[in-house]
Structures are given as C-alpha cells and as structure tokens.
Amino acid sequence: MLSSCCRIPALLALLVQCLALLTVMLLWQIGTYLAFYPSLSMTLGAAVIMQGSIAALYSRWFKLAPWWWLFQCLLPIALFATLTLHLPAYLYLAGFILLLLGYSPAFRTQVPYFPSSRATWQSLRLYLPADRRFKLIDIGSGTGGLLLNLAAHYPDGEFLGVELAPLICLVSRLRARMRRSRANFVHADYRDVDFSRYDVVFAYLSPAAMPALWQKARHEMRPGALLLSNEFEIPSQPADAVIHEAGMRAPLFVWNM
C-alpha cells in the first residue's frame, strides 16, 4: 500500500497527516498522564501547531516535494482557524472551487505552480535567435509572465503557453489581452502538444515530470531545437549548458536536441 501511495503524492500526503495525528495523540496522552508536571500539559492550539510541524517533518522524510512541506504544516492550522471562526458554509465551497480550478492538475501531474523569475527570463534571451523567426512554447506557463516579457522583446517570435489549470490559464489570457500581447495561451496538457513545431521548449515542471518530458522531447523535437528546464535536471542526461547568474533563484538547464 505504501508503494502505491508513493506514486500518488496526494495519498502519501494524507497518510503523512494521519501519522502526524497519531503522533500528536500519543504525545497528548503522555502529557495528560504526566499532567502533574504543568510544563508537560498540552493545549489544543499547541497540538494543532505540533501536528503541522510533525507532518512537515514526515513529508520531508517520505521525500515529498518541498512545496508539500509548507502545505502539510499549514493545513491543520488553517482547518483549526476556520472551525473556530465559524465562517459561513458558502465560503468553504467557494474556496474549494477556486483551489480545484487552480491547483487540481497538480495532484495528477505532480507539477505544482512554480513561477519563474525575471532573472531567468533575461538569461533565456541569450538562447533566442535575434535575426530570424522562431517558435517558443512554455509548458506549464502559469500566469504568463515569461511569455508576455519575451513577446514584448521579440516581435518576430511566436509564443505559446500551455497551462493545465483552468483558472491560472484564464489569468494568463486576461493579462495578454490587457497588454495587447502577441503571446497566446491555451488550456491543455503539454503531453498532447507536438513539440516538433517549436524551435524552443521551455519547462518549469517538477523532478517527477522530467523523465517523461525527456522521452517526449527526444522523440518529437527537431535537430537543432532547444529544450530548457528551469531548476530541474533530467536524470542521467547531463545538460549541454547550465546558467546560474546573479539574481536567479535556480539554475537554467539547456539541452541541444
């Protein structure tokens, strides 16, 4: 069962919360038994904070992605706060729908929302041709910051963003319309897109997605095309170039196909 949970991070995260809850209950019982020592007694608020902290530690131990650590830590605290504030039920429904539209694909693709930095955008320009037309696709384009920036600097380029989360894709489309940008954004899974049509493929995904991305790029991308990955390497496939300049939060890996 544990091996199957490891393949689905959401199930593993749920298991981690259950283990953290059992740990806190055990500590609570110990504190109750030793309650004649005031320093060992535990309040409900302290138990909630402890569960979040233990869940974050367990998440790291089970090798969940770093963004899960923060989620696991804050989840019990957020649930405790909402229950004590007695908020109207429709607010919970609205919050659930927004989260579903914005982040539900992450549970299936194991690719959460990772925004790239402006320093990365500037470094990417070093690999874009300035003397001819080219096509660039950003897979997992998020709110569109990268493509909106590049479209403003390369009037001869064609830019397409592919985003699986419907709400985030809608935000990128609205931003492009407000700026009258030539960048286009579509709600789709990048695995259904033909890479052979593009000169440059830019990805900011997650470690779990990199092996499948490499297989797709190797079979579909044309000779001479470029595959760029922000922060995450491809296992057993050394990059042809690695850029990590001042101001960049993470390195940019480049493969010549």
223, 257 in Cβ contact below 8 A? yes
Residue 56 DSSP SS3: helix
Residue 4 has a pLDDT of: 44
CB 172 within 8 A of CB 185: yes
- Distant-in-sequence contacts of 56-62, Cβ < 8 A, 24+ apart: 58/16, 58/19, 58/20, 59/13, 59/16, 62/6, 62/12, 62/16
Prediction pTM value: 0.62
Cα–Cα distance, 26 to 102 (Å, whole number): 36
Task: Give the distance from CA 100 to its chain's centroid.
Answer: 14
Q: What is the per-residue pLDDT for 2?
A: 42
Least confident of 113-117, 178-182, 184-188, 222-226: 113-117
* 3-class secondary structure, 54: helix
**Each residue of 152-165: pLDDT tens digit?**
888 888 999 998 87
| Cβ 148 vs Cβ 181: under 8 Å | yes
Give per-residue pLDDT as tens, 48-105: 888 888 888 888 888 776 667 777 888 888 778 777 777 666 665 666 556 555 555 5
Q: Set out the domains of the chain in order of their start, with CATH numbers.
A: 2-86 (no CATH), 118-256 (3.40.50.150)
> For residue 186, what are the β-bridge partners?
162
Residue pLDDT, tens place only, 173-211: 999 999 999 999 998 888 899 999 999 999 988 787 889
Q: Please report, as a single letter, which amino acid is at residue 157.
A: G
